[in-house]
Chains A and B, each alone.
Chain A
Amino acid sequence: MAAAAPFSRAEEEGPSVSLAPDHRTEWGRQATPRRASRWIGFCFIAPLLAFLALVYVIPFLGVAEWSVTLPKPGIGQYERLATDPLVLSVFLRTFRICAIVTFVSVTAAYAIAYVWVRGTLLQRRLTELCILIPFLISVLTRAFGWLALLSSRGLVNTWLQASGLIDSPLQLARNEFGVVLGMTHVLIPFAAFPLASAMRSVDERVLLAARGLGASRLRIFWRVFLPMTASGLIGAALIVFVFTLGFFVTPAILGGGRSIMVAELVYLRMFQSPDWGLGAAVSVVLVLIVGALMAALFRFARPAMIGGGR
C-alpha cells in the first residue's frame, strides 16, 4: 500500500503537469505494441520461410553446383545441352508436345468450363463432377486407364478387331499419340479452373446489351464473351504449358521409353545411366524457362485482367 500510493498519485498528477509527459505516454503506448506486433507477425511468417529456405532453396543451389562440377568443373554440361543432338531432340519434342497439349487442353477446358459456369443447375453439377473426379485421381491411375484403353490388348483394339475393322492391333500407346492424350487428360482440369473464374467475372449486363442490340448468339460469343475471357485464356495456357514442361509420370508410362520428354530425361540421367551433371544442368535450364514464362504471365496477363475486369 505504502509503495502503491505515491505511484498512483504520480500517475494522476502526470497529465495535469504539462502536455509533454502526455505526448511521451502516447508515443510509448503505441510504439511498444507496434514493435511487438511486428515481431509476432514475423514469428507467424518465419517458420515456413525458414523451412523452405533450408529444404528447398539451399538444396537448389546444391543442384546448381552439381551442374557445373560433375563430372568435372566447368560449363561442359551446358555446352552439351546446346550441342548434343539427343538432348536437343528431347527438348524439341518436349516443346512440340507442350504446344499441342496446351492448345488441345485449353480448347477442351473452355468448352467444359463454359457449361460449368453458365449451364443449368444439373448441367453445372454434372460438369463439376466430370472435372473434379479426374482431378482428384492419381495420375498413375489415369495413365493406367489410358493403357487399358489404348494398349494392343486394350479396349479400343479389342473392339476394333472384334468388329472386323482392323486385323492387327493399332499402336496407340507407347508413342507420342498416347503421351498427348494422357497429358491432355491431366491438364484439362488445371486449365478449367482459371477459365471458369474468368468466365464468372464476365459482367452479365454486357451480354444483355449485345443481345438487346440484336447480335446473334454466335456473334455475342466471338465478339463479346471470348474477348472478355481472353486474360483467363492466356493464364490457363501459360499454366498448362508450365505444368506440361515438368510432367514426368504420364509421359514415362504412356511414352513407353520411346518418346522421352525433358523431365523423363532427368529421371533417366539420375537413376539409369548416371550422369548427374547433365540432369542438374537440365533442371537449372527448366527453372530458367519457367521463370521466364511466369515473368511473361505477370507482364502480359495482368494489364489484360485489369482491362477485362472493368
Chain B
Amino acid sequence: MRQRPSAIALVMAGLVAIFLLLPLLAVVPISLTPARFLTMPTGELSLIHYRDLIDNPDWGQSILLSLRIGVVSSVIATTLALAFALGIWMFQPPLSALLVGFVLLPMIVPPVVSAMILYFFLTSLSQVSGAVGYDTWLGVTLAHVVMITPCAVVLILVALAQVDRRIDLAARGLGATVLQRAFKIVLPNIRFGVLTAALMAFVLSWEEIGVTLFVTSVNAITLPRMMWMGVHDNIDPAIAAISVVLIALTTIALVGRMMLQRHEPA
C-alpha cells in the first residue's frame, strides 16, 4: 500500500513541469512570425522561416554533416565502450573502479576544459596532417568520440550489471572461448543496452556545441554550430523554426518509445 503524492507535492511538481516545458513552447509562436527579427507575431502568421530552412542550402549541409559526424562517432564510441565494458565485466581486472573512473573523465571535467584540451590536440594534429586536424569533419568526429564515450560506457555497464554472471560461468565451464562468450553469451543479453548507448551517443554528438565551438571555424559547420551563429551573433527566427522541428521529433520519439513500452509485459 504505497501512499500517493499529496496535492501539495503534485502542485509543486506541476509547477516544475511547466517551468521545464515553457521555453520549448515559447519558440512555437516565434517561429511563425513574418518578421526577420525575434518578435511575437502580431496578427498574421507566416511559414517564411520554415521555408528558409529548405531554401538556404547551409541548413541542409550542416544537418548532413551533423548526421555523418553523429553516426561515425557513435559507432566508434560504442565499439570502444563495449570492448572496454566487456573487458571490465568479464575479466574484472585489478583496479577496475579506477579504470572506469579514468574513462569517465571527459564527462566529469568541465566541458570548457575538455574543449581546450581537444583544441590543443587537434591544432597539434593539424601540423601533422591537414585532413584530420582542426576544423575538419574527422577532427570534430574524434573530439565527439572523446565526449560521448563516457556516456556509452555508463549505459553499457548498467546493462551488464543486470546480466546473470552464472550464464557466463556456465559457458566458460563448457569450454567456450573468450570471443564466443563475449559475442554469443554476453552480447545477446545486453543488446538493448548497447543499442540505447549507441542512440544516446548519437544524440549527444548531434547536439554537441561546447567542444565543437572550439575545434571548428569555417569549414566544419555542424547544425549546433550553425544555430550558435544564429543565436549568439544575431537572433534569427529561423532558429525558432529548426528548434520546433527538433522538439517535435524528440517528443514523437519519446512518446513512441513510451507507447511501445506499454505493450510489453511488466
Q: A residues within 8 A CB of B109?
A: 246, 287, 290
In the assembled complex, the Cα of A138 lies from the Cα of B240 at a distance in Å of 13
Residues of B within 8 A of A58 (CB): 121
Asked if A111 and B12 make an inter-chain contact with CB atoms under 8 angstroms apart, the answer reads yes
Q: Is the CB of A246 within 8 A of B112?
A: yes
**Residue contact A37 to B91, C-beta cutoff 8 Å:** yes
Interface string of B91-125 (1 = CB under 8 A from A): 10100000100110110111111111111110010
- Cβ of A237 within 8 Å of any chain B Cβ, yes or no, is no
**A133 pairs with B251, CB closer than 8 A:** yes
**Contact segment of B45-53, B55-63, B78-86, B189-197:** B78-86
Known: A37-B91, A45-B83, A144-B27. A266 touches B112 (CB 8 A): yes
A234–B83 CA distance with the chains assembled, in angstroms: 32
CB distance from A108 to the nearest CB of B (A): 5
SS class, residues of chain A in contact with chain B: helix
Give the residue of A63, A141, A267, A294 whose beta carbon is less than 8 angstroms from that of B243: A141
Residue A103 interfacial (CB < 8 Å): no
Q: Write out, one digit per residue, whether chain A residues 33-76 have a CB within 8 A of any chain B CB (1) or not (0).
A: 00001101111110111011001101110110010000000000
Neighbour of A144 across the interface among B19, B83, B142, B231, CB < 8 A = B231
Determine the distance from Cα of A60 to Cα of B119 in the docked complex, in whole angstroms.
10
Which residue of the partner chain, among B30, B83, B232, contacts A148 with CB atoms under 8 Å? B30
CB-CB contacts of B178-210 with A at 8 A, as 1s and 0s? 100010000000000000000000010001011
Counting chain A CB atoms within 10 Å of each CB, which of B12, B23, B87, B117 scores highest? B23
- Residue of A with least CB distance to B31: A148
B1 CB to nearest chain A CB (Å): 7
State whether A280 and B2 are in contact (beta carbons under 8 Å apart), knowing that A44-B83, A59-B124, A147-B235 are contacts in the complex: no
Please give, as numbers and ranges, the residues of chain B lying within 8 Å of A207 by CB-CB distance: 3
Interface size on B, residues (CB 8 A): 87
B175–chain A nearest beta-carbon distance, Å = 10
Contact status A55-B146, CB under 8 Å = yes
Task: Give the B-binding residues of A (Cβ under 8 A).
Answer: 37-38, 40-45, 47-49, 51-52, 55-56, 58-60, 62-63, 66, 108-109, 111-112, 114-116, 118-120, 123, 125-134, 136-149, 151, 153-155, 158, 185, 188-189, 204, 207-208, 211, 217, 242, 245-249, 252-253, 262-263, 266-267, 270-271, 279-280, 283, 286-287, 290, 294
Binding site for A on B (CB under 8 A): 1-6, 9-10, 12-13, 15-17, 19-27, 29-30, 37-40, 80-81, 83-84, 86-88, 90-91, 93, 99, 102-103, 105-106, 108-121, 124, 142, 145-146, 149, 153, 178, 182, 203, 207, 209-210, 213-214, 224, 227-228, 231-232, 235, 239-240, 243, 246-247, 250-251, 254-255, 258
Ordered by A's residue number, 7 sampled pairs between the chains whose C-beta atoms are within 8 Å are A48-B83, A51-B80, A62-B120, A111-B12, A136-B254, A137-B207, A140-B239
Q: Which 6 A-B pairs have the closest CB atoms?
A: A246-B110, A145-B23, A44-B87, A41-B91, A138-B207, A45-B87
